[in-house]
A and B are shown apart, each in its own frame.
Chain A
Amino acid sequence: MKTKIYLSVILSVALVSVTRAQVSPEIELGAKGVMSGNIVVDNANTASAVSDFSDSQILLGFKQKLYSAWRGQMVFGFQFPDADSDLGQVFFNHVFLTVENHKNIFKLGRSTTKTIINEFPTLRDDDAISFNYSLNPFSIGSNTQDNQYGNVIEYTHIFRQRYWFTFHGENLANLSSPTDFSLNAFGASFLYIVPGSQRWNRNVLQRIGMSYNNYLTDRPGYSGYEEALKNILGTVTINVFPDPVHFVDFRIQGIYNIGFSEIDSINSYRNYVKTPYFSTFGTVRYLYRKLERPFIQVSAGMGYKSFSSVAGSNQFIGITNIFYRLGEHFDLGFQYRYLHNYGETGSLFGQKQHRFQLALVYSIDQIFNNQFDDRNSILNLEHGYIK
């Protein structure tokens, strides 16, 4: 092993000296700061947090053109997880490389997993995680990152600019064997996505697609295909009122977890994830854009989760929020979330919870040393892709 590393270092140095590498990369900086004051009313108890900064994160990307019309990118990112997440103070949620050309993308490293195939307007990405994510069956539920991120290998082919077909494999976090980095999940997804730059071209359908996930779980008494936990995700985003000033859209995602029908009790997190369920989550969003800039956004969402093998154990979520833009990238927000767990889910997670959050949010996505265009720019989409 040492010899290999030594040789590879020598090779890198030699290549650099021969080519006199002069190409400085495009540098992309993404950052999101979410600071909220929380009040949680849980059955008879009330708790509060003065300043919750979970889900805040920084992403740093380095991108450059390769030979033969390919592009390569390296991304590093970290976020601040929940205090009780067992992940430490900082969690490196993105460490990956991509190589791509006009129609193909290869991705390798730690990044988001295909456990969700839409984006919902909640204060934090994990606010409705039990409803809008396919949950990681290897996790014990101590954090949300286990469901959102993993060590991934992905190949995506893009047809006609809008049809994204992805094969993906993952090593999802497995706390029972944390040093096992072998493939423990794989699947495929197919999505039709209208690029953001063309959102005024098409009035109604913005996104539709589905995904199939296959988790290589242990299932006592079964082998092969039957041993794996499988689920199917479907989603759609519709512009209800595609007006640039008063904009309304609706998005919904459903997850059918084929699961293990022999699990007929939700007495542990692992049973909760593996028993068959159907969950759905949808939001309606109103966005007022004053002079081409977001000004106020109001959204309301609901989710429902039912377990076919565990009678009477359903879950409900209601979530609503409002964001007021203080300036470019800077928002003041308020969010209220109501959770109600019936039956055995109530015993596991608590029966109901009200959560109120007042937040300041700062989010940017800036490119420095810009050198080439994005695949989804109007010029590249409508006037010929420049390699």
Chain B
Amino acid sequence: MNRKEFIGYSATGAAGMALFPANLFAKENLKKNEKRFPQILPYAKKGKWKEFELEINIMEHELAPAMKIHTLAFNNMIPGPEIRVKEGDQVRVKFKNKTEINHTIHWHGIYVPWRMDGVPYVTQMPVMADQEFIYEFTAKPYGTHFYHCHWGTLLHMQSGMFGSFIVENDDDPVKKAFPYEREYTLVYSAHDVNFLRNELNGMLERMKERSYLMKNGRFDPQRFNLFNTKEELLNAIENGYQPPYLVNRRSLADLPNPNWFTVNGKSYPSTPSLLIKTGETIRVRLINSGTENHHLHLHGHDFWMVCDDGLPLPRPWQRNTLSLSPGKTYDIIIEGNNRGIWTFHDHDTRRVTNNGLYPGGNLMALVYEDLPVEERQVGKMNNGKNILPKIALDE
């Protein structure tokens, strides 16, 4: 079967999401698309506190149709639910660990008291199996931020332990400069699924053993590789302790090499679409919670970069490509001034692949909802329909 034939066949398929025209504008597909953005976490008002509940679990997660992996997940979602508060709100987050692995939550970009910063053995003890930790802080500064686990960070972040944290302001300078109604959050990540699987299995196995000992009151700091001073570490080495980074305990060069790239936890063809109408202005909050640089390029438009790490820029930058490095957030404004369906993707094209195969990864589209039906037709497909396929895969 050649590529053209394949496209013809896939166009007749019912599964998958609508990235390109066809039935994208059908109600059920618009509904599905809504769910491809972070879901807002509800809160309970407890006195002065806005109280949120987060729990962490392990689940099966589908990166793309037929491609499942095991991941960690806040409230069984990847990314975790979006926490959205007003600047100055008193925020309380009750975090429950339902896994056997240790975790914390770091509030990336938020001016939390240092004891709430979520760095294990620096600001707090790790949250162990079945334990709960309560984070309390004032929501500031304004802007697009995110939260993520800070224990075993390399593994836990690419395992799905991240979510957006949006601090709103009634006097929003961006909204004043660019009045908009709709906004979207896009959380980028990259995953070495083999690293993820092997490390997660190893960590779970080690923790089973450690939990068994701890339940019997036999916590041994050396098992967690914990030392109070450098001298203590050197003494332990003198007495036979082998640091886990040595080659007699771990093979060389086991750093992850991501082969799956996601937006909001999904790879193409399951990535979300940014919907816009002619004359409309939308705000897009971009968060990189992964380990890779993403050089995001929008076809057919310039956009305005308005916030950097949540902070409003003194003067918006007009551009069509930006480099979203790990840990960064940018807010951009897109003006609907060029009707069509435009791809929005990583211009490091290694990241628009699934397991090395294009198209995939963080490939997505800006879609004009008011695109007339006749403009959705680009040619007669093999299946005889005058519309583009919903999904086009190549090999």
Contacts and interface: CB of A to CB of B under 8 A. Distances in A.
Contact of A244 (B204, B212, B242): B212
B240 A197 contact: no
A330 to B, nearest CB: 10
12 contacts: A197-B201, A197-B204, A197-B205, A244-B213, A245-B213, A290-B240, A291-B222, A291-B223, A292-B223, A378-B205, A379-B197, A383-B58
A371 interface: yes
B230 interface: no
Contacts of A290: 240
Interface of B: 58-60, 68-70, 194, 197-198, 200-201, 204-206, 208-209, 211-213, 218, 220, 222-223, 240-242, 248-249
Contacts of B222: 291
B206 A198 contact: no
A312 interface: no
B58 A198 contact: no
B206 A373 contact: no
Contact of A383 (B60, B248, B249): B60
A104 to B, nearest CB: 20
Interface of A: 197-198, 200-201, 244-245, 290-292, 327-328, 370-371, 373, 377-379, 382-384, 386-387
B204 A373 contact: no
Contacts of A200: 208-209, 211-212
A92 to B, nearest CB: 29
Contacts of B59: 383-384
B201 A378 contact: yes
Contacts of A384: 59-60, 70
Contacts of A378: 201, 204-205, 208
A245 B200 CA distance: 23
A131 to B, nearest CB: 33
B356 to A, nearest CB: 10
A201 B208 contact: yes
A379 B201 contact: yes
A377 B197 CA distance: 10
B241 A379 contact: no
A327 B218 CA distance: 25
Nearest to B212: A200
B213 to A, nearest CB: 6
The SS class assigned to the A binding surface is loop
Given A291-B241, A383-B70, A373 B197 contact: yes
A244 B209 contact: yes
Contacts of A373: 70, 197, 201
A292 B202 CA distance: 12
Contacts of A328: 248-249
Contacts of B249: 328
Contact of A370 (B194, B211, B220, B223): B194
Nearest to B70: A379
Nearest to B213: A244
A327 B248 contact: yes
A264 to B, nearest CB: 53
Nearest to B59: A383
A387 B205 CA distance: 21
By Cβ-Cβ distance, the 3 closest A-B pairs, closest first, are A379-B70, A378-B204, A244-B209
Nearest to A326: B248
Contact of A379 (B200, B212, B218, B240): B200
Contacts of A383: 58-60, 70
B58 A377 contact: no
Contacts of B70: 373, 379, 383-384, 386
A197 B205 CA distance: 6
B208 A198 contact: yes
Given A378-B204, A383-B70, A292 B209 contact: yes
Contacts of A382: 58, 204
Contacts of B241: 291
Contacts of A245: 213, 218
A26 to B, nearest CB: 10
A305 to B, nearest CB: 38
Contacts of B201: 197, 373, 377-379
Given A197-B201, A197-B204, A200-B212, 16 more contacts: A244-B212, A291-B222, A291-B223, A291-B242, A292-B206, A371-B194, A373-B70, A378-B201, A378-B204, A379-B70, A379-B197, A379-B201, A382-B58, A383-B59, A386-B60, A386-B69
Nearest to B355: A371
A215 B368 CA distance: 75
Name the residue among B58, B197, B222, B223 with the largest chain A CB count within 10 angstroms. Answer: B197
Contact of B204 (A370, A371, A379, A386): A379
Nearest to A379: B70
Nearest to A196: B205
A160 B222 CA distance: 36
Nearest to B68: A386
A226 B223 CA distance: 59
Contacts of A377: 197, 201
A321 B347 CA distance: 62
A8 B155 CA distance: 46
A386 B71 CA distance: 12
Nearest to A244: B209
Contacts of A386: 60, 68-70
B206 A379 contact: no
A83 B208 CA distance: 45
Nearest to A198: B208
Contacts of A197: 201, 204-205
